Every structure is written in C-alpha cells, then in structure tokens.
Amino acid sequence: MKVIKRNGSEVDFDLEKIISAITKANKAAIRQELTPAQIEEIAEYINFKCTKMNRAISVEEMQDMVENQIMAQGAFNVARCYVKYRYTRFLVRKSNTTDDRILSLIECNNEEVMQENSNKDPIINSVQRDYMAGEVSRDLTRRILLPEDVVKADKEGIIHFHDSDYFAQHMHNCDLVNLEDMLQNGTVISETYIDKPHSFSTACNIATQIIAQVASNQYGGQSISLSHLAPFIQISREKIRKEVLDDAATMGQSPSEEILTQIVEKRLKKEIEKGVQTIQYQVITLMTTNGQAPFLTVFMYLNEAKNEQEKADLALIIEEMLHQRIQGVKNEEGIWITPAFPKLIYVLEEDNIYEDTKYFYLTELAARCTAKRMVPDYISEKKMKELKEGNCFPVMGCRSALTPWKDESGNYQFYGRFNQGVVTINLVDVALSSGGNFDKFWKIFDERLALCFKALMIRHNRLKGTLSDAAPILWQYGALARLKKGEPIDKLLYGGYSTISLGYAGLCECVKYMTGKSHTDPTAKPFALEVMQHMNDVCNIWKEETTIGFGIYGSPIESTTYKFAKCLQQRFGIIEGVTDKGYITNSYHVNVTEPIDAFTKLKFESEFQSLSTGGAISYVEVPNMQDNIPAVISVIQFIYDNIMYAELNTKSDYCQVCGYDGEIQIIEEDGKLIWECPHCHNRDQNMLNVARRTCGYIGTQFWNQGRTQEIKERVLHL
C-alpha cells in the first residue's frame, strides 16, 4: 500500500510512523491519556481502513483518520496536541509551497505529476522545465490570484479550476487556427515575414511552423483544416505542368495531353505524399515550450472546399493523410506504432457515407484507419447542421466546440476563434451534499453554479487587458486576429466571438445516487436531462448578463477524474455504485462497466450531446476490428444518422521486449494497477508502447491509478 506525500511522491505505508506521531502527541499532552496498547490499536485501525480503500492515500487523509480515532478514544488533550502540530507544520509549508514539489519532480519521484498528462514524458528536461514553471504559477494562483473560496472548492473537489499551472500568464485555452488567412495573406514567424507559398509542400511546411508557434502561446489544443491547404494543390499542379513542358521542350519533345496529365499527376502525388509526411512527422517530432508535441487536430471535410476541383484535390490530401496514419510511425526499435498526434476528424457527408457515393472509398479507408490506429473521429455533417444553425466545423482540441457567430456582414465565422478557459462542476458532490433530497439538490446546485460563474469570470478578467504583443502569432499575424501592436484583445472576449466553458463531470453517478438507478433507465433519464437543461438555462442567463459566450462542456478530466473520486471518498466515504471506484464518469457518458451495445449507447448519448453545447464526444469500446471493416462501417453509418460527434476505441499496443503486438494488460498487485505484457510479463513502461484514448484524444505516456482503473474496467460495446 502506498501513501502520497504532500510533494506528490509515493512512499510505502509505514505503521511505525503513525505510532510515533501519536506517541509524541500523547507525551506533549497535559497528561498522557493513551496507553501504548491504545496507540497500537489506533494505528492498526488506520492500516485496516487504508487497505480497504484499495488505492494510494494522501498524508492528509491519513492524518484526518488519526485525529478522528484519537478523539474516538476520548483523548481530547492528545487530539489538541496532534492538531496543533499539524497546524504548525501547515504554517511552515505555507511560507514556501513549491520547493518540495519542484525537487520531487526533478528527481522523478513525484507520482502525481508524472501521471498528470498522458502525453508528457516527465523525465525529459523540457517537460520538467514546464512543470517547474507550472508549480510556481499554480502556487501564485492559489495564494494570490484566486479568492479563498474558489481555492478551497478546487482543493476539496467541489469544482476544478482547470490549468491553474498556466493561469498566472495571460493565456487562453484552445482555438481554430485561421490557416487560410495566414497562408493566403502571409504571416510573420519569429519576426520573419512569410509570403504566400508557391507549392503544396511549402504550404505544409509553413503550416507546421505556424502550429508550433501557436502551441507555444496557449495551453490547449488547436485545430486546422485540410481545406485550407487544398488550393495549393492546383498551384503545384500548374507549376509541375510548366516544369514538365519545359523539360520536354529541352529534349525537343511534345507529349500528348494524356501523357502530360499522367506525368503531372504522378509527380503531384509524390508532392502530396511529401507534404502530408511533413505534417505527420513534424507535428510528432516538434517539441513545444511545454515539452510535448503540439496538441493538434486535423479536420477533413470535403464540403468545405470552394468548388468541385478543389474538392477533388482535398480528397487527394485526405486519402494520403489516412494512408500514412494507417502505416503509423516507427518507434526507436523501428516498429510501426500508433502516434498520439495529430488527432484526425473525418466528416461524414452525403457523398461519402454510402457505397454508391463518389467519395465512399475515403470512408472505407477511414474505417481501416480507425480499426488499426483509433483515428479518425467522426462528425456527422447532417447532425451538426441540425444543432449548429446549418453549419459544420471542427471542434477545438479534443471536444471543445464554438457556438455559431456572425461577423458584421452577417457571415458565419469559425476560424480565428478560441476558448477562454474552463471550470468544471463535480455533479456527484452536488448530489451527495444534498443527501438525496431533491429540493436541497437544486439549491446546492445553484450555489455551486454561482461559484463556477465567479471562477469563470476570474478567468475572463485575467485575459482582459492582454495586449496583442503577448503572442504576436495569435493576435497580430492571423492565427486568431490581426490586431495592431499594443492593442488589447478585449473586443475578442465579448459578443460570443470567443467562448468560455462550464465543464461538468459525473452525471452518471449523480443520477445513480439521487434516483438509485443508472441514467440509462427510462425512469431516471428525465432527471439526468433536467440537470443538463438547468446548466444550459443558467449559462443563457450568464450570457445575457455579460455578452460572453458561455457554453456547457463535457470535460475530459484526464487526471481530475482521480482527484474528484478521492475527494468524494474523503468527504462521503465509500458508497456502492457512486464513490467505490478511483474515478468518476466523464461528462454524460454511460458508466464504463455498464453492459450496453454500441448502437444503443450512441443513440442514448446523442440526446445529452445536443445539450452539451460547448463540446462533448461519445465513444464505443470495440475489440480488434481489423478483419471486420464492414462492422466498423456500420457503426460509422449509424453515427452519421444519429449523433454529431463520436469515435471508436480500439487497442494498439506493442512490447519491445518480446515483440508482442496484442493488447497490453492491466494487473493488480498490492493494491496498485500495473501494465504488463501478457506474453513475457514485462512491466517496464519504457519498454511498452501502449496507446489508449482516454479523454477524446490518444494518450501514450500512461495514466494515474484512477484513469487506469477506468481503462481496465471498460466493457466492450460491440
């Protein structure tokens, strides 16, 4: 059994330390009220309680137990001494809250930080540097920048104030990069003017430079559209055609139009391959200032093309992108594996969804890619248009979605827009705090929402007054805007141009506690929908009061799922079906352990997704589908007709020790979950390539214990 120290590192549980601490408090009391036998009895009870939790516990949890047990023995003077000692140590820690955590992460024994982000390797210097800066920023945020009630609620898991390690800086969350503007009208990178590219491959190269610059000036995900690269196919085609004709003239030849076209298209295909490869490999190998590859989403939407020729050219890019992703990338052993980024989104449309449609071959290719590499995700053009005023556009990062917005000319605009930040409400805590009383539930719910509003406005006000000079690539050179030097970004924060997100988590457990049933039960579902609708109603009120674009966001909560679960257990104990796991369920999702088929799950969750206006994603867990592509296509076609945004979760693992390429398993040992190769029993994470989609995106650097338990307990839906 492990204990998590305050600096985040894990140590073995030590019964003697508890006995020693109580003994010291006993001696410091006015009179010794506890016998050695009683002290040992308390320690043994703590050992029993910790073992029953079946997870690592924090020092503070353990000390709370000790304090309670001392008082249960009637030794109140001893309890006072113990509390006084804790408070004295608290004051010492408060004077400097960062040193221990920074030192522990540098020495790579801070378990909490090491498993915070499944796409960051905490051993790498650049990651450590980012984490060090993050610890300082988080400390400043908690001590100075946030009010005490928000800090307290965040610490207790009542809400989660996302990305506090970046809050000290004037940075936003995620965005849709206006790549079209930057490529067509030029941009500036590192004080160097970049003109409109004269070929597709050059456009791809410039795009990767833009991606790296954007990633270093924000903390969330960014999305680009391949349609913004499609016009450069024709530019390359014309350039290649001229070169071929010049070469033919030099040799005194005059090829027929048919031969000329064949040569041009063959060379063009090679250029497309080169350009796509640039995007794929540059994005994976680029290291941004936060120590990881850019969190990039690539949007593949045929109907975004401006004409039929551009659409056909866009199809060529999409086809090559899918081919290269199916192949994967080589690891250090030269084995083809699944990369985490870029994330791909493929739009399902009338002309690619059925077998007799023109671009169905791309959907077949996408299905093969999903079966092999877990991407792309799928957006239904039909369903999105129903929900987004007739528009179809990419999400930001893994799921954050903009609301429709029109410029002064009445034209919808999506690229160049962004999200200001997220604060998530723990719905499970609302339910448990109400004790199951519905009147009390709605009262507490409104109080918590008011606290979220306060925290969200703090995020908003932190961005107010930010000058465009803070991130020229974003605010001055076209990624998000073309403001003047020294101009504040304030006008972009109002009127719905940018969004700000009220996240939510644990609807499943919330409903389970309040009704005694899963929210998939027809009698419990109305309450679940009422909770979702209430958040929408409140956000609409906030929007009217502030003119800020509030949206409901199905939070990914990668590491927060574990934090929320631990906090709930501390506050309310173990409640079957509610707090008895090391995680709570993301957003509106059906619990991962609940048996349900893929089609029923997607249809059920579609009702909740439509109420999650600021972004959400649904998934189905499937076995190895590489030999059953028709079944994958059946799910894809169901997505097109029934739900706006969904994905299929497959497995894609490799053991570097024995060469096993099946599913790496999760086993339990001494209360801890461990990844192990089922063939050679290798447990060295440095010698295992494991890829799992956990929060809408693929993680490859392993996960904390709560998320690992959630992955282990997933049932198949197909």
pLDDT computed for residue 677 by the predictor: 95
pLDDT computed for residue 622 by the predictor: 93
Q: Give catalytic residues, as residue numbers.
A: 173-174, 396, 398, 400, 419, 553, 558, 696
Per-residue pLDDT, averaged over 664-672, amounts to 88
More confident call, 115 vs 28: 28
Q: Is the torsion defined by CA of 354, 357, 361, 365 positive or negative? A: negative
The tens digit of pLDDT for each residue in 44-70 reads 888 888 777 777 777 778 888 888 888
Is 131 part of any domain? no
**Would you say residue 521 has pLDDT above 90?**
yes
**Would you say residue 175 has pLDDT above 90?**
yes
Per-residue pLDDT, averaged over 165-189, amounts to 94
Residues 363, 424, single domain; the answer is no
pLDDT computed for residue 643 by the predictor: 98
Instruction: Calculate what percentage of the chain has a pLDDT beyond 70.
Output: 91
Residues 82, 205, single domain; the answer is no
Residues 611, 499, single domain; the answer is yes
Is 167 part of any domain? no
More confident call, 103 vs 162: 162
Residues 356, 486, single domain; the answer is no
Q: What is the pTM of this model?
A: 0.84
Residue 614 CA to residue 397 CA, distance in Å, equals 12
Residue 12's pLDDT band, with cuts at 50, 70 and 90, is confident
> Which range, of 20-34, 201-215, 672-686, averages the lowest pLDDT?
20-34
- Give, in order, the Cα–Cα distances in Å from 255 to each of 14, 252, 671: 84, 10, 73
Is 711 part of any domain? no
pLDDT computed for residue 11 by the predictor: 77
Residues 45, 88, single domain; the answer is yes
Residues 447, 314, single domain; the answer is no
3-class SS string, 442-496: HHHHHHHHHHHHHHHHHHHHHHCCCEHHHCHHHHCCCCCCCCCCCCECHHHHCCC
Residue 32's pLDDT band, with cuts at 50, 70 and 90, is confident
Return mean pLDDT, the chain: 89
Residue 653 CA to residue 302 CA, distance in Å, equals 32
> Which range, of 348-357, 495-504, 646-655, averages the lowest pLDDT?
646-655
CATH number of the domain where residue 562 is located:
3.20.70.20
Is 489 part of any domain? yes
Task: Tell me the two tokens of residue 146.
Answer: 């946030």
End position of a domain, from candidates 641, 660, 675: 641
Residue 140's pLDDT band, with cuts at 50, 70 and 90, is confident
Q: Range of 463's domain?
A: 419-467+480-641
pLDDT computed for residue 30 by the predictor: 75
**Would you say residue 110 has pLDDT above 80?**
no
Pick from 710, 674, 668: which is nearest to 692 by CA? Answer: 710
pLDDT computed for residue 692 by the predictor: 84
**Would you say residue 109 has pLDDT above 70?**
no
Per-residue pLDDT, averaged over 666-675, amounts to 88
CA-based Rg of the chain, rounded to a whole angstrom? Answer: 27
Residue 122 CA to residue 290 CA, distance in Å, equals 11
Residue 299's pLDDT band, with cuts at 50, 70 and 90, is very high
Q: Enter the DSSP assignment of 132.
A: H
More confident call, 169 vs 300: 300
End position of a domain, from candidates 641, 673, 695: 641
Residues 549, 455, single domain; the answer is yes
Residue with tokens 């290719």: 365
Q: For the chain, what is the domain count?
A: 3
**Would you say residue 147 has pLDDT above 70?**
yes
Residues 424, 378, single domain; the answer is no
Residues 445, 488, single domain; the answer is yes
Q: List the beta bridge partners of residue 488.
A: 467
Is 538 part of any domain? yes
Residue 431 CA to residue 454 CA, distance in Å, equals 21
The answer to whether 178 touches 480, Cβ cutoff 8 Å, is yes
The answer to whether 100 touches 6, Cβ cutoff 8 Å, is yes
pLDDT computed for residue 303 by the predictor: 98
The tens digit of pLDDT for each residue in 591-635 reads 999 999 999 999 999 999 999 999 999 999 999 898 999 999 999
Residue 431 CA to residue 694 CA, distance in Å, equals 25
Per-residue pLDDT, averaged over 661-677, amounts to 88
Helix (H), strand (E) at residue 362: helix 360-373
More confident call, 468 vs 99: 468
pLDDT computed for residue 559 by the predictor: 78
Residue 9's pLDDT band, with cuts at 50, 70 and 90, is low
Residues 382, 423, single domain; the answer is no
Is 71 part of any domain? yes
The tens digit of pLDDT for each residue in 232-289 reads 999 999 999 999 999 999 999 999 999 999 999 999 999 999 999 999 988 887 755 5
Is 654 part of any domain? no
